[in-house]
Each structure stands twice: as structure tokens, then as C-alpha cells.
């Protein structure tokens, strides 16, 4: 078995994987447990979708933890809470555009791993550079010439990108190769049983990722009828022919943000990242309690709700209503809008 | 704008930083907003001085109507009522095309030529501290027309050379950006909690323009790890006004998420 890095930029191998996929409209529904067991193999490279804690497939990440997958190679653009995997033996290396929690700083397990040498950083990228590399894979380009990363140490330390001369102008350009991750897991609002996935909010790089990745698992808040998708295909960012499995996982992005549905659980994320994951021991305790100690995502949410002494999901839905109001007024059957008598400022103070 | 300055009202260094940053945005400009302090500065500018500014976020959202400070450059509260929500390659592409006037960034280190480090402290292979990595910062600084950097002013954060150049400033001096193929104009302002710096036209080196109240150029030099050029007419940075502090505390960051 080749190392994940050897497969990452192999056009022929990626094409071969896709030629084997069925184009038929076939029912791909399965449980998240089965999908992860079948389509995430030890040693696979796995790419983040959404934007870290926005529309990230968190339920799937925890499930990968529960199934104790090994030696995964993470592609973090950007990386969120699953960057802690290596501390539980699940991840051996990564390709990094960004790992952190923005203004709340660094994710300690990731930092510990890299500083101790137990988590290898195979390459550093800029967000734009890695996004173009995915775009190249989607658009059928061998590589893209861009003006990001020029003149910096990213050029010096990333073995996959190249400095070249633009044959048209003679200017220096940075060449970014098309990248083909082994697995992508994408969380969407609605999907039909064939895998067509619809979202609200930014697609970030997700359409490119679906086409680039060898294997695609779609998790969704709700399975909808395919007629629903066919009647309104405009927000569909996942094409069904790229998809291997469709799993209905309500609140699958929790504790992250699902645009139009629920806001991210800032309090939980902040406590986990800054306090509970402070040391390797405390991270292990957290992991054993919340991941290994629960059967699935819902049991985990239940446990968190008990600890918090509140219905976290209802709370986050309310916050999201305040954030969105008019922005996603037509969102499926959730019907954002309705009561508008919340005192915005009051709640906002408690919320963010 | 309320021009009344407040000497009797207390403000924190970060509040001053946010106010100074907000004043640098001109109405009608497009601003590519990085995470952290830039989010605060851009939001304050939008509410006070530049109601027609257009914020761009790397997740793909453009021109939202800001409410209170969001936790992230993505997320539903960040792109509240944004008329355009595209993808990451789109917004960086639009910046290269020339639609981004100002890039607004933070980072762990900035050197005398405005190069920024957000990757490692120490050796890259065996880092003493592993930081977040570039995120969109490298693209923003490469592709936007002018770049504003915000950060706390300490000698180790203002070293002569960054441990790792994540994000390009003027690289190693005059002409380097052009030779390297970087399209954007480069660093324009550095706002720290001690003063405001620009860059000398001839040498591309960081140059002190204004000192925050109570701070002297000598103090700033002591907190800088390289020889800071000093403008002939260094002025005192105007203090935050009553209105600036009110909007900042009540409308931008009501729960003191960041500016404390």
C-alpha cells in the first residue's frame, strides 16, 4: 500500500478511481457507522470541508475517532477540532493551510504534536493556494499558475509547489498541482438518496473537493426527495455521481455552525480547545468521555446537554435565527423567520 | 463623527488599536478582512466611518451588513445579509483582478520589511512553537493593493527577520516584490498598541509615523527588535473619541469578546 502522499497528486490514479464509480441513480443511503467503516481506510488522506467549524462534518469526524481509524493524513484548509486526532493515534501527518480557532488562538493537541514531532507537517500552503489546487482537480487542469505564496518560505518548504516563468509574460509564477485526496466527507443541509447535496451559505471549496476526492461521503441534516432537488438545483454543490454514501445525520455539524439552522456552540468549543485539551492527559480524558464513551453523535450531544444543563440544540437554533433572519428566509422546511420578538442585543451578549 | 477626545475615560490598548485601524478605512473601499483584531477594526470602520465599505471574507462572503463581532471570518453572523456568497477561489481571484483595495491582517511576527510570520517560532523542521499557518493571510498580502497589519508591539514580535516568512511584505527591500511577481502594492500601515508605522519609500523599511498617547519614539524603539526609522514629523495618535468607544463597546463588541 502506497503512502497517502504518493496518491495525492496522481492524476491517473484519481481518474481510475472515478472511472470505476457508477453513474446510475442508485440509493446510497446508509448509516454513518457503515459509511465510515467502508469508505475511510487506515492510511487515507482526508480533507476538511466547509470552513473549519462552519458546516464541518463533525459527526463523521467523531465517528472516525470511535472506529479508531489509524495513520490518516489530514488536509487542513482550514483545520478544526479533528486536528486532535493524532493524539489518539488516528493521524500521522498533515498538509496545512491553517489550523486554529482564529481569535481564540491555537489548538493545543495540534501544536503539541508538531512540536514533539509526533504529527508530521508534510507541507504548508496558503488557503488560496490549496483552494486553487482543488480547483485544478475539479476543472481538469494539471496545475494552476498563481501569484500567491511567491517570495515566502512557503515556496521554500512546500515540496509540491514550484516556481516557474510565465511563458506569456516572463513573470515569475507559482505552480500549484491538482490535488486528489483519498476521502472527503461533506456535510450539507439537504441531500437526496443519490447524493445530490444542497447547502445555504458559502460553498468554500466543497464542489471542487467532491470532484477531486477518490471517495465522497455526504452527511446531511435531512434526506429530501429527489424531485425537491430537481425542482431547485441552484444551491446544489455536491453532484450525485461523485458521491459514495449518503447519511442522514441531523445536527451533524455540531458543535460547529450550520448556516440557517443552528449556530456554533462557542462556549463548548472554547472550553474544549482552551481548557479541556490543554494537556495530553486532559485531552485523553475528554476523548474517552465524549467520543469513546458514547455510541453515536446523538448520545454525545445528549451528554453535552446534560453537562451544560440545557438543551444546547434549541439554544443554538435560536441564535442562528437571530443571525440569519432575512438571509435564509426560504430554507427548506425549517422556515426561518416567524417570531421576531427576540431582543437581539440581549441574546447577542450572551451568545457570541 | 464626534471629534470630542476623551482623556478622562479609560480605554484599553486594544480599543485604541481598533479605533486607529477603523480610521484608516476610507468610505467606499473594499477591505479583505483577516481574523482577529482586523475583524474588530473593520466592523468599527463600517459602523462609524465607512458605511459604504465592502468587506470581503475568505470563505466567499462579500459585503455583509455587520452586526456584532462574530467569532470567525466565516459563520452565519459574519455574512449577515451578504448579497454575494461565493467560494474561496472566487474571492482571492477577485482580489488578484483588482477588486480588493485594502487587506487587513494580524500575525505573530512582523519584520522591518513588513514580512509576516504565522507559521512557526524557531526552526521550521523542529519548531519551538507551531502556529496556525497562513490561512488566507498570504493570499491577502500578495493580492490586495494595500496591507494593514495589526498586532501587539513586543521585541520578539517585531524581529529583524521573521523565523519564517508566511506572508510577503517588501521581502528583502526595494524592488523585491516586483521581481518576485507579487501583484499587490505591499504593506502600508502597521498598527501596534504603541504607535502607527508606515514604510519608507526609498528603503521599504518600517518607519514610525505616530506615537500613541504617553508613548515616545524611544519607548517604541525599545520594544522593536530592529532599528525603526522615524518620520521627521512624528505626531501623537488621536485618542479614541467618546463616539468611537461607545460604538466599539455597545455595538461592535458588546460582550467584550476581544477588546479587553
The pLDDT-based confidence of A325 (bands split at 50, 70, 90) is: low
Instruction: Say whether residue B76 is in contact with chain A using an 8 A CB cutoff.
Output: yes
Whether residue A126 contacts residue A149, with contact meaning beta carbons closer than 8 Å, is answered with yes
Whether residue B183 contacts residue B100, with contact meaning beta carbons closer than 8 Å, is answered with no
Instruction: Say whether residue B216 is in contact with chain A using an 8 A CB cutoff.
Output: no
Euclidean distance between CA atoms A295 and A311, whole angstroms? 19
Average per-residue pLDDT for chain A: 89
Instruction: Say whether residue B67 is in contact with chain A using an 8 A CB cutoff.
Output: yes
**Does position A97 have pLDDT exceeding 60, yes or no?**
yes
The pLDDT-based confidence of A342 (bands split at 50, 70, 90) is: very low
Grid cell listed for A288: 474517552
Average pLDDT value for residue range A276-289: 93
Q: pLDDT tens digit string along B179-207?
A: 999 998 999 999 999 999 999 999 999 99
Best probe of the B interface among A148, A203, A266, by most B CBs < 10 A, is: A148
Euclidean distance between CA atoms A14 and B134, whole angstroms? 28
| Contact residues, chain B, for A51 at CB < 8 Å | 59, 72, 74-75
| Contact residues, chain A, for B108 at CB < 8 Å | none
Identify whether B58 is a catalytic site residue. Answer: yes
Q: Provide the number of CB pairs (under 8 Å) joining chain A to chain B.
A: 213
| Contact residues, chain A, for B71 at CB < 8 Å | 102-104, 264, 266, 352
Beta bridge partners of B229: B207
Euclidean distance between CA atoms A311 and A211, whole angstroms? 38
The pLDDT-based confidence of B259 (bands split at 50, 70, 90) is: low
User: Which of A5-19, A91-105, A307-321 tops mean pLDDT?
Assistant: A5-19
Euclidean distance between CA atoms A163 and A96, whole angstroms? 19
| Contact residues, chain B, for A202 at CB < 8 Å | 59-61, 74, 79, 85-87
Quickly count: other Cβ atoms within 10 Å of residue A170's Cβ: 8
For residue B118, what are the CA distances in angstroms to A114, A173, B164, B188? Answer: 15, 22, 8, 19
Query: What is the H or E stretch that residue B224 is in?
Result: none
Distance from CA of B260 to the nearest CA of A (A): 13
- The answer to whether the predicted template modeling score (pTM) of the entire model surpasses 0.95 is no
Instruction: Say whether residue B84 is in contact with chain A using an 8 A CB cutoff.
Output: no
Q: pLDDT tens digit string along B122-132?
A: 999 999 999 99
Out of B80, B135, B176, name the one closest to residue A127 (CB): B135
Stretch among A83-97, A257-271, B130-144 having the lowest mean pLDDT = A257-271
Best probe of the A interface among B62, B83, B89, by most A CBs < 10 A, is: B89
Whether residue B200 contacts residue B207, with contact meaning beta carbons closer than 8 Å, is answered with yes
Euclidean distance between CA atoms A154 and A127, whole angstroms? 12
Interface pTM (ipTM) of the complex?
Answer: 0.93
| Contact residues, chain B, for A204 at CB < 8 Å | 59-60, 74, 87-88
Pairing of strands A45-47, A72-76: parallel
Average pLDDT value for residue range B56-81: 83
Instruction: Say whether residue A164 is in contact with chain B using an 8 A CB cutoff.
Output: no
Distance from CA of A111 to the nearest CA of B (A): 5
Out of B136, B180, B254, name the one closest to residue A150 (CB): B180
Out of B80, B88, B130, name the one closest to residue A323 (CB): B80
Average pLDDT value for residue range A128-138: 97
Instruction: Say whether residue A51 is in contact with chain B using an 8 A CB cutoff.
Output: yes
Out of B74, B82, B165, name the one closest to residue A153 (CB): B165
Euclidean distance between CA atoms A335 and A316, whole angstroms? 16
Q: pLDDT tens digit string along A147-187?
A: 999 999 999 999 999 999 999 999 999 999 999 999 999 99
Instruction: Say whether residue A151 is in contact with chain B using an 8 A CB cutoff.
Output: yes
The pLDDT-based confidence of A230 (bands split at 50, 70, 90) is: very high
Nearest to B120 by CA among B112, B129, B111: B129
Whether residue A58 contacts residue A256, with contact meaning beta carbons closer than 8 Å, is answered with yes
Q: What is the per-residue pLDDT for A169?
A: 96
Euclidean distance between CA atoms B4 and B242, whole angstroms? 6
Catalytic residue among B58, B201, B243, B244: B58
Nearest to B52 by CA among B35, B65, B40: B65
Distance from CA of A242 to the nearest CA of B (A): 19
**Does position A124 have pLDDT exceeding 70, yes or no?**
yes
Euclidean distance between CA atoms A124 and B119, whole angstroms? 8
Q: In chain A, how many H helices and how many E strands?
A: 14, 12
Grid cell listed for B201: 519609500
CB contact (8 A) between residue B36 and residue A51: no
Nearest to B25 by CA among B15, B39, B14: B39
Average pLDDT value for residue range A91-99: 95
- Name the DSSP class of A79: B
Grid cell listed for B194: 504603541
Q: What is the per-residue pLDDT for B7?
A: 52
Quickly count: other Cβ atoms within 10 Å of residue B82's Cβ: 21
Q: What percent of chain A has pLDDT over 70?
A: 91
Nearest to A184 by CA among A81, A31, A53, A56: A56
CB contact (8 A) between residue A208 and residue B89: yes
- Return contacts of B212-219, CB within 8 angstroms, 24+ apart: B212/B13, B212/B16, B212/B20, B212/B236, B212/B237, B213/B237, B213/B239, B219/B194
Buried b (16+ CB within 10 A) or exposed e, B123-160: eeeebeebbbbbbbbbbbbbbbbbbbbbbebeeebbbe
Out of A204, A257, A349, name the one closest to residue B60 (CB): A204
Residue A87 or residue B53, greater confidence: B53
CB contact (8 A) between residue A323 and residue B77: yes
Grid cell listed for A340: 421576531
Amino acid at each position: 500500500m502506497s503512502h497517502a502522499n504518493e496518491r495525492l497528486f496522481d492524476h491517473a490514479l484519481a481518474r481510475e478511481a472515478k472511472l470505476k464509480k457508477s453513474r446510475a441513480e442508485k440509493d446510497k443511503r446508509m448509516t454513518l457507522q457503515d459509511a465510515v467503516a467502508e469508505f475511510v481506510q487506515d492510511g487515507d488522506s482526508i480533507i476538511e470541508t466547509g470552513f473549519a467549524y462552519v458546516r464541518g462534518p463533525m459527526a463523521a469526524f467523531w465517528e472516525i475517532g470511535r472506529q479508531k481509524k489509524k495513520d490518516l493524513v489530514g488536509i487542513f484548509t482550514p483545520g478544526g477540532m479533528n486536528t486532535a486526532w493524532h493524539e489518539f493515534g488516528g493521524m500521522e501527518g498533515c498538509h496545512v493551510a491553517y489550523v486554529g480557532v482564529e481569535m481564540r488562538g491555537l489548538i493545543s493537541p495540534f501544536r503539541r504534536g508538531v512540536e514533539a514531532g509526533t504529527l508530521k507537517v508534510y507541507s504548508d500552503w496558503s488557503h488560496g493556494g490549496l483552494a486553487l489546487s482543488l480547483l485544478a482537480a475539479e476543472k481538469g487542469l494539471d496545475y494552476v499558475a498563481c501569484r500567491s505564496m511567491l517570495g515566502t518560505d512557503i515556496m521554500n518548504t512546500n515540496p509540491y509547489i514550484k516556481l516557474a516563468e510565465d511563458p506569456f509574460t516572463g513573470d515569475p509564477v507559482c505552480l500549484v498541482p491538482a490535488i486528489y485526496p483519498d476521502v472527503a466527507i461533506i456535510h450539507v443541509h439537504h441531500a437526496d438518496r443519490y447524493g445530490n447535496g444542497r447547502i445555504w451559505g458559502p460553498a468554500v471549496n466543497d464542489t471542487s473537493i467532491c470532484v477531486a476526492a477518490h471517495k465522497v461521503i455526504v452527511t446531511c441534516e435531512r434526506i429530501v426527495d429527489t424531485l425537491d432537488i430537481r425542482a431547485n438545483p441552484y444551491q446544489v454543490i455536491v453532484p450525485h455521481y461523485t458521491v459514495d454514501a449518503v447519511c442522514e445525520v441531523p445536527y451533524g455539524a455540531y458543535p460547529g455552525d450550520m448556516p440557517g439552522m443552528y449556530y456554533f456552540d462557542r462556549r463548548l468549543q472554547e472550553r474544549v480547545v482552551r481548557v479541556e485539551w490543554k494537556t495530553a492527559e486532559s485531552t485523553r480524558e475528554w476523548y474517552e468521555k465524549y467520543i469513546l464513551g458514547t455510541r453515536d453523535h446523538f448520545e454525545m450531544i445528549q451528554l453535552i446537554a446534560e453537562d451544560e444543563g440545557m438543551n444546547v440544540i434549541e439554544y443554538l437554533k435560536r441564535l442562528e435565527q437571530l443571525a440569519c433572519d432575512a438571509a435564509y428566509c426560504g430554507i427548506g422546511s425549517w422556515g426561518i423567520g416567524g417570531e421576531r420578538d427576540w431582543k437581539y442585543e440581549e441574546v447577542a451578549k450572551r451568545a457570541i | 463623527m464626534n471629534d470630542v477626545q476623551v482623556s478622562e475615560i479609560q480605554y484599553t490598548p486594544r480599543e485604541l488599536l481598533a479605533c486607529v485601524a477603523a480610521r484608516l478605512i476610507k468610505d467606499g473601499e473594499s477591505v479583505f478582512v483577516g481574523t482577529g483584531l482586523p475583524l474588530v477594526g473593520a466592523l468599527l470602520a463600517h459602523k462609524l466611518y465607512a458605511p459604504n465599505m465592502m468587506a470581503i471574507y475568505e470563505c466567499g462572503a462579500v459585503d455583509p451588513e455587520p452586526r456584532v463581532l462574530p467569532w470567525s471570518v466565516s459563520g452565519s453572523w459574519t455574512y449577515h445579509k451578504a448579497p454575494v456568497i461565493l467560494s474561496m477561489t472566487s474571492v482571492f481571484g477577485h482580489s488578484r483582478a483588482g477588486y480588493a483595495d485594502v487587506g487587513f491582517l494580524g500575525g505573530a511576527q512582523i519584520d522591518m520589511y513588513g514580512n509576516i510570520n504565522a507559521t512557526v517560532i524557531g526552526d521550521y523542521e523542529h519548531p519551538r512553537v507551531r502556529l496556525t499557518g497562513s490561512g488566507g493571510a498570504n493570499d491577502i498580502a500578495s493580492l490586495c493593493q494595500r496591507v494593514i497589519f495589526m498586532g501587539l508591539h513586543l521585541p520578539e514580535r517585531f524581529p529583524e527577520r521573521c523565523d519564517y516568512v508566511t506572508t510577503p511584505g517588501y521581502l528583502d527591500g526595494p524592488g523585491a516584490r516586483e521581481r518576485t511577481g507579487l501583484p499587490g502594492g505591499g504593506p502600508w500601515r502597521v498598527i501596534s498598541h504603541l504607535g502607527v508605522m508606515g514604510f519608507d519609500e526609498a528603503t521599504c523599511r518600517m518607519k514610525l509615523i505616530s506615537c500613541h498617547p504617553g508613548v515616545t519614539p524611544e519607548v517604541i524603539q525599545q520594544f522593536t527588535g530592529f532599528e525603526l526609522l522615524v518620520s521627521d514629523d512624528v505626531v501623537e495618535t488621536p485618542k479614541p473619541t467618546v463616539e468611537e468607544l461607545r460604538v466599539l463597546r455597545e455595538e461592535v463588541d458588546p460582550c467584550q469578546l476581544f477588546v479587553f
